[in-house]
Structure 1
Amino acid sequence: MKTLFNRARAIALGALLAAGSLAVSAVPAEAQKILHRGNGSEPETLDPHKSTGVPESYIQYDLFEGLVVPDGKGNLIPGAAESWSSNADGTVFTFKLRKNAKWSDGTPVTADDWVYSWRRVVDPKTMSKYAWYLWPVKNGEAVSNGKLPPDQFGVRALDPLTFEVTLEGPTPYFVSMLQHHATYAVNRASIEKHGDEFIRPGNYVTNGPYMLAEAVPQSHIKVVKNPHFHDAANVKIDTVMFYPTENIEAELKRFRAGELDITYEIPVSQMDWVRQNMAKQARLAPYFGTYFFAPNLTKEPWKSNKDLRLALNLAIDRQTLVDKINKRGEQPAYSWLPPGTENYTQQVPEYANWTQEQREAKAKELVKKAGYGPGGKPLEVEVLFNTSENHRKMAIAVASMWQKVLGAKVTLNNQEWKVFLSTRDEKKFKDVVRHGWIGDYLDANNFLALFRSDVGKQNPSGYNNPEFDRLVSEANKLADVEKRRALLQQAERLMIEDVAFFPLHFYSSRHMVSDRVIGWGDNLQDLHPSRFLDVK
């Protein structure tokens, strides 16, 4: 109502001004450039320290500028930090901030803002699911577990433009971590004034190329160019509209009608048609992520019955999933780490080289050994997934395989995104949950750390193996690349042996991109900030 009223008033005022200015020659205003992006599910939250999903991250890449930023081509470039350096052993990093960096309200961005923000992430009061992300920083784990106060966290402001970070030990991937939303600076004054409502339009103060103008649930999020951004002159697009679109088939229809310039996904049901009719607009490329199912290891029978878990894992025909269901260039997955992980060799189990018939025969043997199936207990499995046609088709396909091979009775349970996230993270799902993990940086730690028992709600299955925790922790204390890699590979082999998850496929990025979009570049992390795009 308020928005419509203001527009009507503006139109009326414009008419009056035009009527009173007939003697003045009209000068046409330059046309606004608007980019329309499909964006998956309704955002969980726009608080960068509390969000966990990909849809939120796409919006936050436009609203914020990290110390380093992705350039849309697969590279990292200086962001809020114009330069940085480290000491000889790589345990202390010093970031020189831009002198002309400002918040969207025009106030300067200072090193104190970064100190406040990073302390906020690890402060238990924030309840950030990504607190573990900053554990490489000195005392990060102790602070987030409430053993030390936030002011003991290893960050400080040397002066208004110098931000210093002390690490627990050498961390070769540290700088590449800093594109992630958990490391963004947030505006302290706005948070202290508005509390949890600091993320609302009119309250939200950000330091990126865009600022929040509108946020209408189940409709759109509108961001507009930030005039105070240090590189505003090179930001070509004036307004970006993000549309939550859980119905991927409807999203494709909107793209075909010219209502969207970029889609979040491509529906699997339309993939053959797209290849035949709109191949030029379909952008399919390798994507640094793993799509998987996670058994609830906090509940029985999954907690203590490894044979049962392995039976379900072996009964999944991954080649059929990627060839017949998805058909978008994915690769079958039998391990956790995806292709493209730097300084790492994927740990593939022996059964990955078996035929599917051999895997299914072993699955039948194991399910009987576990006490289920003919002559044993009935095998009943519920699969939880978030509302999406693509996820539904995948769940149906896997359910069919479990029913055919193991005689399982499988029920499907879909939930809206926010409800799904809560159910998944709180481990309230009955049996198995759909999951996916997209790497935030190209190091193995970003995947393996997710299954540490002490990361909290982010752990997909509630996996708890002290030896796995030790291997990952020890590896990240080592500066020796070879020794570190050996420990991380040992950790992956252990979680595969424990059947802590059911990997299905390694992702491919899949978008429809309009011919009017300029500057789109496929990259392994599928990051395309609007600031580096243009439209015809």
Structure 2
Amino acid sequence: MKKWIIMLVAMLSLSSILAGCGGDKQASGDSKDGKQEMTLGMTTEPPAIDPAIATDTTSGWVLDHIFEGLYTRDKEGNPVLGAAKDQKVSDDGKTYTFTLRDDAKWSDGSPVTAQDFEFAWKNVLNPDTGSAFAFYMYYIKGAENYNKGKGTADKVGVKALDEKTLQVELNAPLGYFDKLLTMWTFYPVKKDIVEGNKNWSADAKNYVSNGPFKMTDWKHNSEVVLEKNDNYYGKKDVNLKKVTFKIVTDATTYYQMYKTNELDFIMTLPTDAVTAEKNNKEYQEVPYFGTYMYMFNVEKAPFNNVKIRKAFAMSIDRKALAENVTKAGEIPAYGMVPPGVKSPDGDFREKGGNYFEENFDEAKKLLAEGMKEEGWDKLPQVTLLYNTAENNKKMAEAVQEMIKKNLGVDIKVSNQEWKTYLDTTKQHNFQMARMGWIGSFVDPVIMLDYYLGDSPNNRTGWVNKQFDEIMAKSKIEQDENKRFELLHQAEEVLMADQPFMPVYFYTNTYLTSSKFKDIAYYVNRYPFLKWAKKE
């Protein structure tokens, strides 16, 4: 773990990580005519390229390139002012006044206004929008009441004072507000575009955004095309003229496309390819602030019983999974919050430790006790659901085998395409399902928020009043020592009930053509191409 943490710190300290200089292949964006174009592999269709609706990293990858919030990120991943040129904070730390850049423009050339931000944020909070990420705005005065139908939009503490001035009132001071504002949920949208067409984000034809790139084509289930936004205030920093995301759902296929020069970049390599590419200078393993897990639906048998949930969690060998299935240096997970969070007591994960361990005998004992409590002579049939991807398939099959061997339980495995899968799990129509959660900034709160009782992202049906209360206290606690102690308490409550089984903390694997440099490889977002260029 210490090695992983050192690697993470090193990653954060670099201005950007250059692709390796090995390899002599001529990639698709590397033609002799010198065109600044790049083609990347995307493993699934983006479900929603809409800042208010998107909840997944694939949609977020596109959104991060075509929009920009009040804050953005520098090459190291630190929050810096973006569409705003200035901010002032009141003495009590609760009122922020942002002044927008004079040259902040939409891709159609019209000015980005404070009214656009006010509209966008209130659109996220509007109950009719159905945003699953609206709760990230609950720090704002009146936001939670409006989102839950207990208040009105005019009571929300977001107000455009004039064309270039936005005032935001918080419930309490928030030390990580700048980091929070880098999330796509806080991006602006152009009011007249959104109000004029409820399906405005479904295709590129009338799409308007304000980031370094603009979307010019979206052939569903085939590709998403971005081009340099010449109306972006920082266009001099943008070198690539065109970025194409090729949607290739089969891992073996996109790996072959990289090797045959059809793609300049791929990530989440097939496990067999990881071994083959370890010594390739174009290969990278980058720590990723997230947790790969299997959710339990606590409202459905047999996972309505906590002992059975714990039995399943104890019955898989995480080290063997990391070494033999994923093979990319992942860290076995025995909690929710990944390593890499610096707290007053050191790394949060090291301080919190492991909440359980593999113990196959204890697992069988807990399973028997849980079945007895429920009055079952035979365990109800269990189906493990995962979203279609080669690596997820291999992981599910390995877990299936381990549960049979170590727990004596035969489970079925089933898969669905990503968009269908999200809908199925949202409706709680599963028993046990794969999920990954990536922190949009490096802090325990962003990971633990997933399991809040009223979080739309919490699809387990697990609601714990004590957990919710501790999390609420942590968000207004100004003493960092006390805040982190509360977050440790919250994780302890979560793991005592264990509505999920953590498997590993992510490491992303990348292959990037050596022709490209100045790509920013963040620890909690997919690679950012604002400064990327082809040599």
Q: Contact 2:216–2:225 at 8 Å: present in 1 too?
A: yes
CA positional deviation for 1:350? 5.1
1:254-294 residue CA offsets vs partner (Å, 9 max, x unmatched): 11111111113211122211125xx2111102111110000
Residue in 2 aligned with 1:323? 323
The residue type equivalent to 1:509 in the other structure is N
Q: Contact 1:43–1:56 at 8 Å: present in 2 too?
A: yes
Alignment of 1:81-100 (within 5 A): 81-100=84-103
CA distance in 1, matches of 2:463, 2:414: 26
Q: Contact 1:509–1:526 at 8 Å: present in 2 too?
A: no
Residue in 2 aligned with 1:140? 143
CA distance in 1, matches of 2:332, 2:511: 23
- Count of aligned pairs: 498
> Is the counterpart of residue 481 in structure 1 residue 503 in structure 2?
no
SS of the counterpart of 2:266?
Answer: coil
Residue in 1 aligned with 2:332? 332
Residue in 2 aligned with 1:313? 313
CA positional deviation for 1:523? 3.3
CA distance in 2, matches of 1:316, 1:94: 51
Which blocks of at least 5 consecutive residues in structure 1 are unaligned? 1-29
Q: Contact 1:368–1:376 at 8 Å: present in 2 too?
A: no
CA distance in 2, matches of 1:61, 1:444: 22
CA distance in 1, matches of 2:467, 2:298: 15
Which blocks of at least 5 consecutive residues in structure 2 are unaligned? 1-32
Aligned counterpart for 2:67 among listed residues 64, 88, 93: 64
Change in CA separation of 1:443 and 1:100 when aligned onto 2, cut-off 3 Å: same
The residue type equivalent to 1:64 in the other structure is F
Residue in 2 aligned with 1:219? 222
Identity of matched residues, %: 31
CA distance in 1, matches of 2:242, 2:117: 27
CA positional deviation for 1:85? 2.5
CA distance in 2, matches of 1:299, 1:380: 11
CA distance in 2, matches of 1:324, 1:424: 28
Residue in 1 aligned with 2:381? 380
Q: Which range is displaced more, 280-289 or 199-208?
A: 199-208
CA distance in 2, matches of 1:274, 1:118: 44
Q: Contact 1:71–1:532 at 8 Å: present in 2 too?
A: no
Aligned counterpart for 2:353 among listed residues 323, 348, 353: 348
Residue in 2 aligned with 1:396? 397
Aligned counterpart for 1:263 among listed residues 261, 266, 272: 266
Change in CA separation of 1:161 and 1:197 when aligned onto 2, cut-off 3 Å: closer
Residue in 1 aligned with 2:124? 121
Q: Contact 1:225–1:237 at 8 Å: present in 2 too?
A: yes
CA distance in 2, matches of 1:398, 1:198: 38
CA positional deviation for 1:378? 3.2
The residue type equivalent to 1:194 in the other structure is N
CA positional deviation for 1:313? 0.4
1:393-451 residue CA offsets vs partner (Å, 9 max, x unmatched): 1101111111111111211110011000101122111x100000000011211111111
Residue in 2 aligned with 1:531? 530
1:482-535 residue CA offsets vs partner (Å, 9 max, x unmatched): 121111110100110101210000001211111011113443224432212111
CA distance in 2, matches of 1:495, 1:350: 10
CA distance in 2, matches of 1:520, 1:62: 12
Q: Contact 1:285–1:329 at 8 Å: present in 2 too?
A: no
CA positional deviation for 1:479? 0.9
SS of the counterpart of 2:371?
Answer: coil
The residue type equivalent to 2:515 in the other structure is R
CA positional deviation for 1:195? 2.0
Q: Contact 2:296–2:500 at 8 Å: present in 1 too?
A: yes
SS of the counterpart of 2:433?
Answer: strand
The residue type equivalent to 2:462 in the other structure is Y
Q: Contact 1:379–1:409 at 8 Å: present in 2 too?
A: no
Change in CA separation of 1:192 and 1:526 when aligned onto 2, cut-off 3 Å: closer
Residue in 2 aligned with 1:283? 284
Change in CA separation of 1:351 and 1:192 when aligned onto 2, cut-off 3 Å: closer
Q: Contact 1:137–1:168 at 8 Å: present in 2 too?
A: yes
Q: Contact 2:51–2:63 at 8 Å: present in 1 too?
A: yes
Change in CA separation of 1:99 and 1:212 when aligned onto 2, cut-off 3 Å: same
CA distance in 2, matches of 1:47, 1:350: 37
SS of the counterpart of 2:403?
Answer: helix
RMSD (Å) for aligned C-alpha atoms: 1.8
Residue in 1 aligned with 2:242? 239
Residue in 2 aligned with 1:405? 406
The residue type equivalent to 2:227 in the other structure is V
Q: Contact 2:293–2:434 at 8 Å: present in 1 too?
A: yes
CA positional deviation for 1:139? 1.3
Residue in 2 aligned with 1:517? 516
CA positional deviation for 1:75? 2.2
The residue type equivalent to 2:508 in the other structure is S
1:73-92 residue CA offsets vs partner (Å, 9 max, x unmatched): 32222211122231223211
Q: Contact 1:124–1:146 at 8 Å: present in 2 too?
A: yes
SS of the counterpart of 2:522?
Answer: coil
Q: Contact 2:255–2:266 at 8 Å: present in 1 too?
A: yes
Residue in 2 aligned with 1:27? none
Residue in 1 aligned with 2:421? 420
Residue in 1 aligned with 2:6? none
Residue in 2 aligned with 1:23? none
Q: Contact 1:285–1:508 at 8 Å: present in 2 too?
A: yes
Residue in 2 aligned with 1:19? none
Alignment of 1:147-296 (within 5 A): 147-276=150-279, 279-296=280-297
Q: Contact 2:289–2:338 at 8 Å: present in 1 too?
A: yes
SS of the counterpart of 1:221?
Answer: strand
> Is the counterpart of residue 41 in structure 1 residue 40 in structure 2?
no
1:445-473 residue CA offsets vs partner (Å, 9 max, x unmatched): 11111111012x21141220101000001
CA distance in 2, matches of 1:504, 1:524: 19
CA distance in 2, matches of 1:503, 1:162: 44
Q: Contact 1:40–1:245 at 8 Å: present in 2 too?
A: yes
Q: Which range is displaced more, 62-71 or 306-315?
A: 62-71
Alignment of 1:364-375 (within 5 A): 364-371=364-371
> Is the counterpart of residue 435 in structure 1 residue 435 in structure 2?
yes
Residue in 1 aligned with 2:463? 464
The residue type equivalent to 1:121 in the other structure is V
The residue type equivalent to 1:507 in the other structure is Y
SS of the counterpart of 2:415?
Answer: strand
